[in-house]
Amino acid sequence: MTDIRTHLIRPAEGIPEGFASLSQGVFHASTVVFPDVASFLRRQAQAHTGYSYGQNGTPTHYALANKLSELEGGAAHTVLVPSGLAAVVLVNSMLLAAGDHVLLPDSIYGPTLEVTQTLFAKWGIRHTVYPNDTGADIAELFEDKTRLVWTESPSSNTLQMQDIPAIVAAAHAHQIKVAMDNTWATALGFRALDAGVDYSVQALTKYVGGHSDLLMGAVSTRDVAAHHALRDTAELLGYYVAADECFLALRGLPTLALRLERQYASALRIASFLQNHAAISQVNYPPRPGDAYHHLWQRDFKLGNGLLSFTLQQNTMQAIENFVASLQLFPLGNSWGGVHSLIAVAPQRAASGWLLRLHVGVEQVDDLLADLAQALAVLEG
């Protein structure tokens, strides 16, 4: 028997036989140990699918990545990264080299455009911003070195939709890849890979996490070589997510459908209430019949969620401050996708004035409607 002080340093037992749980075990590791020199020297060969170093994943990481791959469907493979924005950076870093050209819609998530205009531009990658409503005619913007088209539908402030199948068809006819930021719908709402998208990006921070307490992103693809290249690139960038955060994301998954169904049903009621209110000028929520993008939502999407935006008739900062201050159940804050209702304020990109973005949580919808009604009444009074 070694000295107890030495013994304390040895790992404790693994998973004891006879124990089973409905919860995912959480495994932490930087170092992974090997049974012999031969397997130690072979560890790089394991880097894509096995255990070689903490950064390549523990069973907790693989459990989450595999569940997300199942969610995306059709033998997808998934890489986990520290945030939704990191997922965007990963796709660009894997695919693009100096001199290459990338296309982004004008409705894209702000930081995605910003990183393209700053870091990637500095590294010699050129970009063109295209109008969100561009469909098959996107081909007119292709250049010799165009390698990638980014899409996002609906966009997260203006809720504008894109014709993803038309863009995919045009891009693939020119051997150009398509990435989609599918954070709004998740694969439960829109099957991006089935629609031909090459890289499906998710900010797990939003609906998968679902409780406003973690940041994480994922890139899923059905192309095994691309998946390996994404993993290698993530390793070179030093991207790593903590096992505890993976546990939280895994804990979000069983209720993902329940939460989305509830938030979608509540948001539909709230969207039509707002649309019919005299103090509101416009509501953006594609699942609502009458929305400017409803036809695309109806054609391509299977499920809505809780994120919508609107403008006040009285589109002044003073009116917005009064309205937001009167709300009791919608705290002011960024991000969305959790169980809590939220409100955020954003400048309108195309027009002057302000956009109010509402995230509808899982509270009782009658309480939410009453709260919005009293805050709008304050504006009229």
Ligand X SMILES: *Cc1c(COP(=O)(O)O)cnc(C)c1O
Whether the Cβ atoms of residue 255 and residue 209 lie closer than 8 Å to each other: no
Least separation, in Å, of the C-beta of 147 and ligand X?
21
Closest CA to 91 of 44, 162, 148, 21: 148
As a whole number of angstroms, the distance between CA 363 and CA 18 comes to 40
Q: Which is nearer to ligand X, 52 or 92 (CB)?
A: 92
Give whichever of 280 and 360 is closer to ligand X, judged by the CB atom.
360
Which CB sits closer to ligand X, 32 or 68? 68
**Window contacting ligand X (CB under 6 A); options: 30-38, 95-103, 199-207, 226-234:** 199-207
CB atoms within 10 A of CB 184: 26
220 within 8 A of 77, measured Cβ to Cβ: yes
| Distance from C-alpha of 209 to C-alpha of 193, rounded to nearest angstrom | 21
Binding-site size, ligand X (CB under 6 A): 14
Residue 181 within binding range of ligand X, rule CB under 6 A: yes
**Which of residues 85 and 197 has its CB atom nearest to ligand X in the complex?**
85
Interface residue with ligand X, options 83, 92, 200, 341 (CB under 6 A): 83
Is the CB of 32 or the CB of 342 nearer to ligand X?
342
Decide: is 217 part of the binding site for ligand X (CB under 6 A).
Answer: yes
- Does residue 339 belong to the site contacting ligand X (CB under 6 A)? no
The residue with its CB nearest to ligand X is: 84
Question: What are the backbone dihedrals phi and psi of residue 190, each rounded to the nearest 5 degrees, phi first?
Answer: -145, 125
Taking CB under 6 A as the criterion, the residue among 116, 183, 200, 309 binding ligand X is 183
* Alpha helix (H) residue ranges in 96-242: 110-115, 121-122, 164-173, 186-189, 224-237
Interaction between residue 189 and ligand X (CB under 6 A): no
Q: Are the CB atoms for 250 and 21 separated by under 8 Å?
A: no
Per-residue x/- marks for ligand X, 103-122, CB under 6 A? ------x-------------
What's the CA angle centered on 349, arms 343 and 352, to 5 degrees?
90
Among 57, 84, 210, 304, binds ligand X (CB under 6 A): 84
The piece of 7-15, 39-47, 200-208, 272-280 that touches ligand X (CB under 6 A) is 200-208
* Footprint on residues 148-167 left by ligand X (CB under 6 A): 152, 156
Q: Which residue in 58, 107, 153, 205 binds ligand X (CB under 6 A)?
A: 205
Q: Is 171 in the site for ligand X (CB under 6 A)?
A: no
Q: Residue 192: phi, psi to the nearest 5? A: -60, -45
Q: Which is nearer to ligand X, 57 or 337 (CB)?
A: 337
User: DSSP 3-state assignment of 179?
Assistant: strand
Per CB under 6 A, contacts with ligand X among 318-337 are 335
Tell me which DSSP letter residue 358 carries. E
**282-305 per-residue burial string, b: 16 or more CB within 10 A, e: under 16:** bbbbbbbeebebeebbeebbebbb
Nearer to ligand X, 217 or 361 (CB): 217
Residue 215 binds ligand X, judged by CB under 6 A: yes
28-67 binders of ligand X (CB under 6 A): none
Cross-strand partners of 221: 77
> DSSP labels for 157-168?
TT-----HHHHH
Rounded Cα distance, 270 and 264, in Å: 10
Site residues (CB under 6 A) for ligand X? Answer: 83-85, 109, 152, 156, 181, 183, 203, 205-206, 215, 217, 335
